[in-house]
Amino acid sequence: MEKPAATDHPVHELIRRRWSPRAFAARPVEAEKIASLFEAARWAPSSFNGQPWHYIVAVKEDEAAFARLLNCLRPQNIQWAQHAPVLILAVAQLSLSPERGPNRHAFHDVGLANENLVLQATALGLVSHQMAGFFPERARETFGIPEGYEAVTAIAVGYPGDPADLPPETRAREHQPRERKPQREFVFAGAWGRARTVTEG
């Protein structure tokens, strides 16, 4: 199942095709493809080239490790994410260095790395779903995440599955149309709230 975006202006096909399904096939993801995802994340831009992203990954073949990461998710996400073959926890380093102090762009930069990762997943025929619904402190305790680092997002990755296998409520969400705000609501020119027109530079 695919849900390409109905864009108002042309964008790259990977951006159109990327979406966040909850249905995953049981098929494992090849090790070389998992490495490719993190290579894409590795080459994301970051403030001062600080590269504040770190990842904890668990594959379903390693049942104990997978269960530990799955247990960090909120129940509503566990019900479908348990079927994904790969779970990932993205973690941000909150300072550039002891001398430079806090990095106010850390979450932004981890988001850039995550977007590289999920677009690479799309390019490889995989699907991904990023989740805010997890317990950061449980993740810290479970994986020994040190102070100065914070879990930002959980990500499920795998091959696309059949939405018919999902519980009814989740299945209905899978078929809902994709929606985004129009540009006029968030792209301004000249002053806050003044919508930029297509002809403006």
pLDDT at 48: 93
Instruction: Return the pLDDT at 120.
Output: 98
Q: Which residue's entry shows tokens 């709230």?
A: 193
Residues linked to residue 149 through DSSP beta bridges, in sequence order = 93
**Contact in structure between 20 and 130 (CB atoms under 8 Å):** yes
pLDDT value at position 201? 58
Report the residue count for the chain: 201
What digits encode the pLDDT tens for the residues 128-163? 999 999 999 999 999 999 999 999 999 999 999 999
Conformation bin of residue 193: beta by default, left when phi > 0, alpha when psi is -120 to 50:
left
CA–CA gap between residue 139 and residue 72 (Å, rounded): 6
Most confident of 36-45, 169-178, 191-200: 36-45
Q: Average pLDDT, stretch 41-58?
A: 97
101 bridge partner residues: 97
The domain segmentation of the chain, as residue ranges, is: 13-162
Class for domain 13-162, per CATH? alpha beta
pTM equals: 0.94
